[in-house]
Structure 1
Amino acid sequence: MSDRQRHQAILRILEEKPFASVHDLTAAVGVSAATVRRDIEKLDGAGLAQKVHGGIAALEGAARRPVALPFIVNRDIAVEAKRAIARTAGRIVRDGSLIIIHAGSTCFHFGAHIANRNLRVFTNSMPLAAYLSEHGTCQLTVGGGDLHREPGVLYDPQRAPDSFYGSQFFVGALGVSSRGLLESHPLLVRFINDMVGLANEVVVLVDSRKFAERPPTVALPLGRVSRLITDDGLTDTDARMLEDQGVDYIIADRAEAAA
């Protein structure tokens, strides 16, 4: 199989699913892992797909109904935007407060950013809890329940909501539209609704790509959002939508976070 044929085969695979690992591709195209990694580099360099940790991801597109990528993959996509959002979100957190941080990659970057602040953090996110336990100095409380490896949360829908109360609930989403925050995983929809009732303020952390995504389920109407933080890739159309819905939003500067 020629280089061109392999590249076409890889792109066809990405039409069917948003992510393919190096192992998946070696089995599919019948070449070594080293050859697959070179193919990934070339496709990424040509702007036809995106190199991510452990494999390759399809480019984001408005017409595609998104499927949630594995956390370890999604964590390394749009990192500059997510770090900019994390940095901006950190400015609205008061020292000494209790905050709730949802699962997901943007919330993970935010949690890592405030890891050494004088805060009490409550989270059901296993990746974030593991990071904070090793690298953070903030007080940490981890929610209980069964471990759901994807999306990486500890949660038991049969349990009553926890008996704590936070000043802010930081939450991400797979998509955002005038309907609200959009998700594809029913467990996350239930979890978000449980957590909303335990905080004074709901702060949404989403990079600007999420405004083009259309998952099937509304997890939270925009009317229940106190504030939304996104990056400077937000389009004028999406900004007007937020304004029409009465959402207070903040734009994070990616260049500032990269400096």
Structure 2
Amino acid sequence: MKVISKGGHAMQPRERQQQLLKQLAQQQQMSVADVMTALTVSRDTARRDIVAVTEQGLAQRIHGGVQVLNFAVDIPSYQDRLRQFSQLKTALAKLVLPTIQPGQYVFLDVATTLLKLTQLITQKCTIYTHSLDNAISLATNPAVTVELLGGTLNQKNRFFGGPTTLEAVQTVAFDQVIVGAATVTANGLFYSDRDDAAVKRQALSQTTQGILVCEHRKFGQAARYCGGQLTQIQLVITDEPLTHTEQRWFPKTTEFRHLTEDDYDQH
């Protein structure tokens, strides 16, 4: 697959990598899928270009993509995350969709990938969520009964938390709990907000089917508040395959699924 410049000629690697850096300066972070789309190249070519710019010290490689040098260490806000990795998140949402079975009672976390998922659900089910955006997205879906777990609204990240939310969660035995993560380490799932972490922690304690959905780049980073143990996760869905070390963090019975090039082609 060749990239054609505005002048009509096929871009050489150096020219293509300069284009990548220009795009990266605007987006701050890009997944492999984003690079593929921006440069109209194959996955292998995107990976080679990422390696090239990082080895030259022009960018920093991360799990599943690349970011500008000295990228802020703070976890991006929810609205910032909505603008990142849109193709990736849609592909992940499509991979999660078949896990929801008709008639199930499902807890759906605050996560941009899971917001994408709410737009795809057609099976009759009951969705419990503390996400204001998830509830709004599902409000006009006739197949879904929506249970919004109210409480104190976090206006920045648009979720409900606090004692009222926890009390509501405690009344339900969920068929499955689908969560995202700000970061994942061998010690568990971590988040930037204490109230948000508490809701996930409670929900995971009330199911036998915990599902983690997140980008591979989030593995090994650091965040403050633990929202669940890896022993509570039965299925992990990521964009890139986990390393053998990362897989060993989970119980031997945990199943792992990741995106393939065909999943991106179906986008």
TM > 0.5 fold call: yes
Q: Is the 8 A contact 1:168 1:200 kept in 2?
A: yes
Report the CA distance between 1:98 and its aligned residue: 1.2
In the alignment, the residues of structure 2 paired with residue 75 and residue 134 of structure 1 have an alpha-carbon distance, to the nearest angstrom, of 21
Task: Indicate yes or no: 2:248 matched with 1:243.
Answer: yes
Partner amino acid, structure 2, of 1:137: A
- Spell out, residue by residue over 1:14-64, the C-alpha distance to the aligned partner (whole angstroms, 9 max, x if none): xxxxxxxxxxxxxxxxxxxxxxxxxxxx89635334179xxxxx9647986
Report the CA distance between 1:258 and its aligned residue: 4.1
Partner amino acid, structure 2, of 1:45: K
* Same amino acid, percent of matched pairs: 15
Unaligned stretches of 5+ residues in structure 2: 1-18, 30-59, 61-65
Report the CA distance between 1:202 and its aligned residue: 0.8
Give the RMSD, CA atoms, in angstroms.
2.8
TM-score, L = length of structure 1: 0.70
From the superposition, tell whether residues 76 and 61 of structure 1 become closer, same or farther in structure 2 (CA, over 3 Å).
Answer: same
- What SS is found at the alignment partner of 2:90? helix
In the alignment, the residues of structure 1 paired with residue 143 and residue 21 of structure 2 have an alpha-carbon distance, to the nearest angstrom, of 38
Q: Which residue of structure 2 lines up, in the alignment, with residue 182 of structure 1? A: 190
Q: Is the 8 A contact 2:183 2:220 kept in 1?
A: yes
Q: Which residue of structure 2 lines up, in the alignment, with residue 47 of structure 1? A: 24
- What SS is found at the alignment partner of 1:96? coil
- What SS is found at the alignment partner of 1:199? coil
- What SS is found at the alignment partner of 2:167? coil
- What SS is found at the alignment partner of 2:116? helix
Report the CA distance between 1:113 and its aligned residue: 2.0
Q: Which residue of structure 2 lines up, in the alignment, with residue 39 of structure 1? A: none
Q: Is the 8 A contact 1:44 1:50 kept in 2?
A: no
Structure 1 residues 68-107: aligned runs within 5 Å = 68-107=75-114
Task: Indicate yes or no: 2:212 matched with 1:214.
Answer: no
Q: 2:143 aligns with which of 118, 137, 144?
A: 137
In the alignment, the residues of structure 2 paired with residue 218 and residue 63 of structure 1 have an alpha-carbon distance, to the nearest angstrom, of 26
- What SS is found at the alignment partner of 1:47? helix
Q: Which protein, 1 or 2, shows the higher relative CO under an 8 Å CA cutoff with sep ≥ 6?
A: 1
- Spell out, residue by residue over 1:127-161, the C-alpha distance to the aligned partner (whole angstroms, 9 max, x if none): 11111113563111111212111321122325524
Unaligned stretches of 5+ residues in structure 1: 1-41, 53-57
From the superposition, tell whether residues 201 and 50 of structure 1 become closer, same or farther in structure 2 (CA, over 3 Å).
Answer: same
